[in-house]
Every structure is written in structure tokens, then in C-alpha cells.
Chains A and B, each alone.
Chain A
């Protein structure tokens, strides 16, 4: 409590200082203040973990209860994730924000930024409907302001409006979910609602609240069908705002969904969980398909954020399903997977956005088709981005691997559920998630390869230089986090298990994550089962626990074992690579090494125009998924000298975002048609209007009479 109060005090101080500081010192001061503020935020999260939950009354709002702040392990988790991102972003901003210094007042951005940090914290620590909604709206508007900071640019303004519009629609839906809850419980207090609501809300109302909250908060999380604002907002936002948007704000959407459907009114219908699961899987697939074929760095990362939020939603859906099916241990596993993935996504996606910002700052170009070869020119950025790429492509020893593995494992546990349809849905979702994971690798091979490797495909990329130290510090912090979260999953999972415990009432870790390489904590039957796998080899040498997931059966020896240990994997890889290097050095000492140019089919050197572009690399995906990605065939226009003698061919590729195409375009068309019909009614004839009035009156009378 006191730590959180200190955090709020830091925020107020920061805003006050920036309001009086001269413009030219704002960026540096804001960066320092931001670091302090983020540190306070992190401390307040740690405070909850160490000293336990707290609650504080603000003022009473009779007869509906009391406005209240309160922190649970869940809100502490969100504070922690947000704190990590804010900390890195604050360090980064010092070098980055200078680019806007000439056109805009950095003090404005800084004040908005510090307020945004506070509003984010408040969203997760408010403990009643009214203050939650106020904090939520504040957070929405403030995040819109940071994204739309470059408001002199028309594209930014347009994208900002779409973002704000989508956000408001989502807000209305969430109000529609929360207000009936408060009405049913006769209280705005979350604690009271959580106690009373499950008993008083009927099945139909449950569904209505689920749909409203899921799709309402889903707007913020970028879930199907309301995700197209994200790829519009990201490219125009400053990189630090993008990092916050993807690393913090999107998570809050998931927080909202969890709050309503797992805390206030836990889902009791398996079908509801399955719907969440299906929407998540589809969102993930659509997100990654667009990410794999998109060539704008930031837009691609935006699509990838959609994918990752989809994956988190898959895990959330799995958890809800298991909970509804009275399998709390499995639900705990899925919750751990969801939270772990959220934590991971926030670190690596913030890192990647900061890296994209570094590229933008240095090369002033974000089109992968025109980048390339930055690895040699920006070694630090390239290294950190490599870490981010490995993590997001779910490759060990980075963190993405652990959480995606957990998500797929918890999906596979679906076999214990009953019902053919349930199995089919779990299997299909598993397939979609696996496909998504595979496509993510191709997408990020393209991302890293086309940006940092090969030849520079434009003079802008050729002239790029390494970015200043503050940016490197910001990225380096996040890269270190991504590595640490990937290397020590046993400790992270233990912590997350505590966060998930209030949601399920079960310590998932104890049942599902026995520490493998710590034999004294392993039951006798398990030790015997692992013996043939060579488990005893690692016992003596490697003291920290590895990570194992078991499909536990009643007997002491498990039937099916799924095990994974990225920590030991990293050690093994390091050993193998090191040994190989040594062997090559020792054996190769006598050999003469030759450095030759790459083989270009006999040409001395191929110009950059003759190397693969990002479009070319991702074209197979575009062709295979043509039905979703490019419904219209490309149109080639020829300018000819004579028949069959083309002087130039220009190709136009039409595309429309799949969701817009199938959901919003039809709605827009319907609205236009309706408007046209209405317009036709305005024919200007007095008699006609009189007739309308008469018909309306008749209709009203009929309605009144029969109701």
C-alpha cells in the first residue's frame, strides 16, 4: 500500500517537474523520472508478492458501496510486466524522443507518458466498477494521445481516430458487461460481486456478460474481429509508444477478460471456454499470416502482436474450459501458460518495437524491401534484435519457447475432457497453434534476415549507423529479460503458479511441475521411471531444478511424460558449440583459410537489386494462403512499344484486411444502403412526411396496445 502510494507520489512529482522545466531539458529529465517511476511500480508489485494483497477505501458511494483500491497477486503480476516494459522504454526514450524535438514539445509527450503509467497501474489496482471504468477510460485516452503524438501527420491522425473509435466501442461493451454485474450484486465492489454474482446471475445473462466482456475487452487486446486498428496505429506511433501499446496496453484487454470471467463471475460453461479458445486460435493464425507477409517492420510487429495475444487467449480459453470442466489443476497449468506468454510477449515485443524504432531512427526506413545489411552497421541493435527474434520465433534458450511449449502442452491435456466436439475443437486449435508457431519462424527469419543480413537494398540502409547508448540500454535490458525468462523457467513458473492460485484454488506447480533434476523432491516411482532416460546423470552435477511436465496417472509411474528444460538445453548447446569451436581451432590450425566472395553464378558481384526481397521470401506463404491474404489477383499493366514488346510492366496488388473484408465491409455497405434508403425517403414532399408521421403514430399505438 505504502509503496503504491509512493509510486503515485512519484508520478505527481514527475508531472509537476515537467510542467515547469525548460523544453530542451525535458527529454533527459523525463527519462530519469520515468526510470524512477517504473522502479516504484516494480517495487509496488514486489511489495504485493512479499507482503501479500492489500486493500484501501477511497470514499463511499452510497448505496452502491465504496470506491476502493486493492492489489491481488494478479494485479501485482500486471504491475510487474508493465513495470519491466516502462523501465526499458524510459531508458530508451532519452535517445529516441529527440527526433520529435523540432516539431513537437517533448514536455507534452512526457507528461502524457507519466500519466499513462499511472493510469495503467490504476486499471489493475482499482477494486470497484466505477473507479475501474474511470481508470480504463483514462488509460484509453492517454494511450491514444501517445500513439497519436505525431498528430501533424495525416496518417497518424486517421489511425488515431480509428484506434480511439474502436477503443470506445470496446469500452461501451465492457460497461455493458460490468454494470449488470454490479446491478445483480447490488454493489460496485469487486469483492462483493465475486461473492454474490455467481449465485444470482442466470445462464442467459452469464452468456451475455461473457460475450460483452470478451469482445469488449477483446478490442483492446486486438482479438478477432476487432484487431485491424492495431496494424494501423503501430506504424504511425513513436517507437516507445508502440512498445508500451504492445507490451502493456494489449495485456490490459486480457486483464479485463480475466477479471470478469475468472474473478468476478467464473465461467461455468465449457462452451464458453471453447469459444474463447477458438477465437484465440483464429486470431493467432490471422495475425501470423499477415505478419509473415507484411514488409513494414512496425506493421509486421503489430500483426505479430495480434498473433501473440491470440495465443494468450488460447491459453485463457483452455484455462476457462478446464475450470468449467472441474479440472482446476489443468486450469492452473493453462493459467501459468497464459501469464507466462503474456510476460514473454511483453518483453520481446517491446524489445522488437524499440529495435524497429532504432532502425527507423538510423535508416529512416521501415520497409524491409528497402532495408538489409544493417547487422554490420548496427551491431548492438542487431544483437538485441537477434535475441528478440529468437524469442518471438519460440526458439530456445529464449523465453518464447517456454511459454509456447506450455500452451501447446496444456492444449494437449484436452484429451482428458469428455465429448467428441470438445476433442475436435481442442485438436483443431492445437493444429492452428502449431501452424502459427511454424509460420512465426518463417515470419521472423524474414524479419531478421531481410533487415539485418545481406546487402543493403537502399542508400538509406547503407548510411545507417549504430544508435546512441540510451537506446541500446533500453533494448539490452529487455533482451536480458528475454534470455533470463527462457533460462530459468522453473523459478518463473513457481511464481506464476502463485499468481494463478487465487483463480483456481489449486497450486498447479505442485501437481504438474515437479522439479525434475532435484531428486530429493521426486517420488520414488517417478525416479524409477526416469532412470532409463539418464536422469541420474544430471543429478549430481546440476543442482538447480529443471522443468518437467507430466501427464500424471494414478499409478506412481506415469504413463506419458512430457519434459522440457531450456536451462539444461542451453548448457548443452553451449557445451557442444564450445567443444566444436575448440576442436575446429585445434584441428584447423594447420589449414590455410581462404576468404572468397559469395558465389554469384560467375558474376563478380550481384547488385542489391538482385538479392531476395522480403516480399520474395514470403511469397510462397502469400500464394498458399491466397484466399485469405490477397483475394484479388495481381493486375499487371504493360506499357508496350508494339504488340508483345513491353517497355515496362507495373504490377498492382490489391489487398483488404480479411476481417475488414468479411466483417466490417459488409456492415459498412449495409449502413450505406440503409443511408441511401433513408435518403430516398427525404424526397422533400410535405405529404410524404405527413404520411410518415401518421404511420409512426399507428405503429406506436399498436406497440403500446399489445405490450
Chain B
């Protein structure tokens, strides 16, 4: 356990204003000029950047920024600085993973990160918010509108930008790619997210957790249970509430069911992108079966409405749990049969092997999470690194591949489907008896809730007032981190590789845009 003292050792000579243990994280207060040394020191000891939480807090200064870092089996650390004006120094040159989060904060809060090379044109598009930064509470003084030219960094003879989207392809989420190219080859790809920006974080403010969880579940509908779980755990941590054992076990069961469905859907998308429609259709049928299992036993095909702070809103009988495990096993076997055949399909493998490569070093620099990180030899999994909801009590492995190419991601996804099925069977066979829901009294404070969503580490940062109403909720999603890596993966590949690489990343736009 890291104490005030040992964290002091980690930070070494960095002058620290105070180290305060919070419910499930440690708050390190620091003067703004010492931010970069502090972050450097933490990173040198194995902490990994997770996200920036911007709060408009009139308490001591207009802005409070918390740089959140996580580690393997060590407490989460939030480095807190207070900023007195609408500007502060950028840390992106040291902590590249913060690049996009700084740009997001810059657009949404109207604060400037000095020294960042690409200001503007990140979260706000086509004059969607002409007059004000949408997340800001105090509108005056209104930040001056920034000129927002389309990003262009490539200078090549005859180079141009090929825009793709925001409306493109068949059934596809809205996102825009600006591919800088001289034709065929992608020299650099800009991803323009936030077309789907719904301001979920701001909409949750001023609501009770019971209300807000409806929004949390709909940040990413295909990972609704993971989002609900992370949010609920944050609220439970705030209130120091104990969740009944049965609910904890069932949460694992449903989370793994969701992971299996999400991964099989990702495998389907990869097959579709490579044009193999027969196996794609066969897998799509299995996705439908998994959705039907979810709907039949929980009332909702996407497991919404089930999660609540304190437990679950509905129980699943032991017999039903057995039935779920049995039917899922059936589905996974069907998927595995197709997967096995594809392993010998040369034309399929040609399109995945050595395509969209992310080196371990790149994955680490960008702060990649989830299957993308694990396919690049980074064993990052919150279920193992920061066990929650009783994951420490179940046996499972974290599959890791070394190559970091599309094929490695394909294999990681399938291996994880097997691991999840294994977990699901263990849990279904050993459900503890008892209730599934406990009361959670309204409490004020700040806490973290985190879960390993199908696409990677998901963190909710929730601050409440004493009446238990949410005053700030920061959602750090796996999508935001992995979309950041994506341009690196497509560099120097051809246009026609783009959809394939995109599919192997299994990214959700809704999850990144929030």
C-alpha cells in the first residue's frame, strides 16, 4: 500500500503541496510549475496516464485540473493543480497521451494549453457552438473564437486531403477522416471525432446517480453494462456502500456476456471489412443469439436498465445463470469453428497480417488500452491490475500478442472470448446466495469508478454535493485513447486498408465522443 510517505519517495525532489488519500485514490496537490516533473516521476515508477479532469471550481481558483494516473496494483493517483487564468502549460510534449484530452478541454472549456501545436478544431465542428465553450458554466468572459482551419501537416508535392465522412459507408457511426495523401497511400490521417458529441458529462450534472445512470448506460450502448458498472462503482465508493456478493458475481457474469457479444461483433466487423461475407453472416447470427440470450434473461438485449448503485435491479436465478452459460458456450463453440477455418484462409490472413501495426512502444506512448494494447504486447487489463467486483476471486488469463498488427488484434479478440466464456461458466456455477441490491445513501465527495469495458479501461470520476447530486462527472473512455493511436496505425497504408484497420481496432465513436 502506498502511503503518504512512500508516494513522497516516488515524487522525490518534486515539491508537493500536499498528499491526501481519497476514497479510492490519492490526491497529490501541486503547484502548476511542478506538474511536469511530478508526472515524469510517477511515470518513471510505472504509473500510466489515464485522463485529465477539468473542473470549474470557484473554491480557490477558477479552474481545478486533475491529471489522473493508474498503475498495476497500486493506487490511482490524481495530480491536482489550480489554475487562475484561462490558460496553462501543455504537457503533451512530455505526456503524449494527454494530447487529445488537452485539445478536448481546450475546445469544450475554452481554456488554452500553451505550447500545444494544434489548437482548435477538435471537439467543435462547423460552428456547432459559435458563441461559447459548451462545458463552461460561467459564460463571461466569452472565449474569443479561434480560427479553425482543417488540420494539414503534410507538405508533399501534389499532396491533398481526402475527406471521408462524417456520413460515409453503410451502417457506420459518424466520424470524419481527413486523409493526407498524394493518392493511394495515407501519409497521415486526421480523425475528426466529436460529431456525435452529446455532452453526456455535462448532462449528468445536477442529477441523482439513479437518474444519471440512464445516461451513463447510453454513452456507449454497445458497452452499456460496463459503463453502468463503472459509474455505479464510483457512486458506491463515494458512499462506502457494500454491494451484496451475489450482485458482485452477477455483475461479472453480465460484464463477460457483454464482452463476448461485443468481441464477436468486432470479429464480424473485421470479416465484413475484408469482404468475406459468408463467415461474416455466420458470425452475425451468433451476435444475434447472444443478444437474444441477454434479452431473454435480463429483459434488455443490450443489458440496459439492470445496473443500479448498490447492486442490480433484477436477479438471475441459479438455473437461469446455468442456462446462460450453457447457451453462451454453445455460441462460442460456433464462433470458434468459424475462427478455426479462417486461420487457414490465406486471402483473409493476407489482409490482416502486418497491416495496421502498432508497436509496443507506440501503444505505450499513446496510452492504448484494451485489446489494442494487449495485441501490442502491453498487458493492460483493469480486471487484473485493479481487481473490482470480485474479479480477483475468479480464474482467467489476460491474452497478449506481440506483433501489434491486425492479425494480433484478431487473435486477442478471440482469445478473450474464450477467457470470458470461462469466467462466465465459473461464475454461473458458483453464484453466492443472497440479495442483489443494497441501499446507497446520498453522500458528498469525489470517487473513481472503473471497469474494463470490452474495448478497454473505462474510468468514471464522480464528484457529488452533500445531497448526493452529481456536480461533475468525467468519463475517460477507452475509445478516446485508442482512436488516438489509430492515425499511427494507418500511416503509409493504402486507402483500401483503412476500413480493415478500423475494424481491427473495434472502436466506438459514441464512446469517444460522449
Contact = CB atoms under 8 A, between A and B. Distances in A.
Contacts of A648: 153-155
- Of the candidates B126, B159, B165, B168, the one having the most CB atoms from chain A within 10 angstroms of its own CB is B159
Contacts, number: 114
Given A604-B126, A619-B182, A642-B94, A653 B157 contact: yes
Interface residues of A, number: 37
Contact of B158 (A295, A609, A611): A295
B138 interface: no
A607 B153 contact: no
The A interface, classified by DSSP as helix, strand, loop or mixed, is: mixed
Given A641-B117, A645-B96, A647-B117, A600 B362 contact: no
A589 B183 CA distance: 42
Contacts of B184: 616, 619-620, 623
Contacts of A646: 153, 188
Interface string A595-629: 00000111110110111111111111011000000
B359 to A, nearest CB: 10
Contacts of B181: 616
- Of the candidates B99, B157, B180, the one having the most CB atoms from chain A within 10 angstroms of its own CB is B157
Given A604-B126, A651-B155, A619 B162 contact: no
B18 interface: no
B166 interface: yes
B142 interface: no
B153 A647 contact: yes
B160 interface: yes
A602 B165 contact: yes
**Interface extent on B, as a size class?**
35 or more
Given A618-B183, A619-B184, A651-B154, A601 B164 contact: yes
Contacts of B366: 644
A320 to B, nearest CB: 41
B156 A651 contact: yes
Interface in B166-188: 166-168, 174, 176, 178, 180-185, 187-188
A649 B180 CA distance: 10
B285 interface: no
B163 A600 contact: yes
B96 A644 contact: yes
Interface in A640-682: 641-651, 653
Contacts of B178: 610
B24 interface: no
Nearest to A617: B183
A648 to B, nearest CB: 5
Nearest to A646: B153
A609 B161 contact: yes
Contacts of B362: 644
Contacts of A295: 158
Given A603-B163, A607-B150, A645 B187 contact: no
B152 interface: yes
B160 A613 contact: yes
B477 interface: no
Interface string B280-310: 0000000000000000000000000000000
B167 A650 contact: no
Contact of B155 (A643, A644, A649): A649
A463 interface: no
Contact of B153 (A602, A643, A649): A649
Nearest to B93: A642
A602 B167 contact: yes
Contacts of B386: none
B92 interface: yes
B161 A610 contact: yes
Nearest to A623: B184
B469 to A, nearest CB: 38
Interface in B77-101: 92-94, 96, 99
Contact of B150 (A609, A622, A623): A609
A613 B126 CA distance: 25
B488 interface: yes
A244 to B, nearest CB: 30
Given A642-B96, A644-B365, A645-B93, A616 B156 contact: no
Nearest to A295: B158
12 contacts: A601-B164, A606-B163, A612-B162, A613-B158, A615-B183, A616-B160, A616-B181, A616-B182, A617-B183, A620-B184, A644-B366, A653-B156
Interface of A: 295, 369, 600-604, 606-607, 609-620, 622-623, 634, 636, 641-651, 653
